Amino acid sequence: MAYLLAPYNSAMRLGMGFNSFTQQLCINDAVKTMNNQTATEKNLRPQYKKGEMESSTSQVVTWSAKFVDRISEVTDSMNISGSLEIKCDAIGGGGGASAHFIDSNKFKESDLNYFIQVKVTNEQLVAHDVTEFCPIADVSAADFTRVYGDSFISGFTEGGEFNALVSIKLKDRSKAKEIGGQLKIELDLKAASVKGTAEGSKKDLESSYEGETTISVSWTGGGDIKDESVTDWTFATLKAVAMEFPEHVMACPMRTNAILTKYTSLKSFHEKTLKGSPLDYENAGVYSSALLDAYMDFKVMWRNIQMAAWEVEQGQSYLVAKPNLPELSEMATEAQKHYTAQTARYQKLLTGPTAESETSSQIVPVTPLEDGSTVTQKVVKVESRGLLEAPLPPNPLKPYPATIFGLDKARRDCRFEMIKIVKEVDAVAHDPKVAIDPSRTWQYLSPAIFRVLLPSVHNLDAEKRAAAASEEARLKEENLAKTNQAIQNELTETKRKLADTEANLAQGAGPAGPEDGRSRGS
């Protein structure tokens, strides 16, 4: 059975409860040693005994280099839960998430994104004797996962991890495939040596295309992995550092991941008389990644709407409304039916809870909207299923007006869709079955559909430049046509004169007359 891993942070302790879906720390000492003692570092490695200890260093190194189209591909490779990234971004700032080095805007706007990863494991430190589950009295069944999580920290991995993301935004997108092939060869980690120097790399590839290149790097372990010769990240230096990273980790390892163990794998857990059991998040990972990709799409659109509003206000751009497609009306009708059904279901649970579910309620505000207002709703705590919240209204699915007011409404609605995704993460955390429920639709609008509703933004300067370039091309074409016509006319005139000359010569070389014969005879 493969280990379940989570990125390490300094607050982690042996035996601590952990939620593998949200990657949040839970209660301390959820699991203790067999003699009911708090787990310590001594449980990870044996105490030093002079003359009886042997030391050997071995490494497990995993190299990975690939093109990525979605941010979730990067976070999955780094063992980061998509729900953690969404929650950390929603509360503002990185929140300690390990993927904070990625610029989501650069990622989404780039034509090529190439991800390089080197994982080095020096050793796995597992506390095999931490097996005694320690329940707390009066923890209700509904609060089990919130208090304990679904697993506990049973060990750590030590080594290092190097991550780099190369994002390229090309001026000519038609060359994306060609540049991508060159990039894959240039950064091939399977090669035995680095091709050329940093200067050579710039000449070979980085100067062979017009565009913007962003290189983002993050590493754990290895100490100072760059020597004094590396003053800037280039393709060649990036590859050289990645190739040498395992040697640096051997000299300076760090804890990179926590090893998680499910409570259900403990004999002591099944022997206890408990109210409730940990939730199973095995199938929630794929849904979490999809939520992260949608959230990042909305985040980029939200920023672009703000930029468009500023450009329109400054007179630099103008807007053109999108057409109201018939399919939008059909989708709006379907979404409203779903919202009505979900509201009725919520009201039924609110006013008449079932006999099997013990409920309580409270009034809480949701996240404030962009206009400063808040949506207050009642939250019902259903003991057997966690929190049940009132459904949020769907987008009316009508193209936004091509005005500054339309953009402002679009910006608020875009933010509201992001809030819906955050609340969907909470829903999965309280009930993992949400992730595999085929009838659970319209929780948030697809980013692709929302993009259809936004007015097109036309930059005046860009259009002027395009018009000027088009006019220049037209004039060049006209001048070329005139030049070709002049050459053609000159050629025609030359051919006519040549034909006249040949005709005159032909007449002058004709048969002699009688007078000419007499003159020659005399």
pLDDT recorded at residue 381: 42
Do 223 and 293 lie in one domain? The reply is: no
Do 320 and 175 lie in one domain? The reply is: no
Q: How far is CA 462 from CA 183, 320, 404, in A?
A: 30, 15, 20
Do 26 and 152 lie in one domain? The reply is: yes
Mean pLDDT by 10 residues, the chain (522 residues): 80 94 92 90 64 62 90 88 81 55 84 93 90 87 87 94 92 84 79 41 62 90 84 86 92 93 90 77 86 93 93 91 93 93 87 50 47 49 53 94 95 95 90 84 92 92 80 87 90 87 77 52 46
Do 165 and 312 lie in one domain? The reply is: no
Which of 221, 247, 271 is a domain's end point?
Answer: 271
Residues 6+ apart with CB under 8 A from 43: 14, 33, 127, 129, 130
| Residue 150 placed within a domain | yes
pLDDT recorded at residue 164: 93
Please tell me what DSSP assigns to residue 206. Answer: I
CA separation for the pair 265, 473 (Å, rounded): 72
User: CA nearest 18: which of 135, 147, 157?
Assistant: 147
Number of domains composing the chain: 3
pLDDT recorded at residue 175: 83
Q: How far is CA 176 from CA 6, 16, 236, in A?
A: 35, 48, 20
Write phi, then psi, for 514 (nearest 5 degrees): -65, -40
Contact 65, 188 (CB under 8 A): yes
Do 304 and 325 lie in one domain? The reply is: yes
* pTM of the shown model: 0.74
CA separation for the pair 157, 502 (Å, rounded): 97
| Residue 88 placed within a domain | yes
CA separation for the pair 334, 339 (Å, rounded): 9
Do 267 and 306 lie in one domain? The reply is: no
Do 60 and 17 lie in one domain? The reply is: yes
Do 125 and 37 lie in one domain? The reply is: yes
Parent domain of 89: 4-43+56-271
CA 99 to chain centre: 10
In SS3 terms, 280-339 reads as CCCCHHHHHHHHHHHHHHHHHHHHHHHHHHHHHHCCCEEEECCCCCHHHHHHHHHHHHHH
Do 261 and 376 lie in one domain? The reply is: no
pLDDT recorded at residue 203: 47
pLDDT recorded at residue 206: 66
pLDDT recorded at residue 43: 84
Do 32 and 114 lie in one domain? The reply is: yes
Do 378 and 331 lie in one domain? The reply is: yes
Q: How many CA atoms lie within 13 A of 462 on its CB side?
A: 7
CA separation for the pair 209, 99 (Å, rounded): 28
Do 28 and 158 lie in one domain? The reply is: yes
| Residue 483 placed within a domain | yes
pLDDT recorded at residue 319: 93
pLDDT recorded at residue 350: 81
Q: Which amino acid is located at 442 in the chain?
A: W
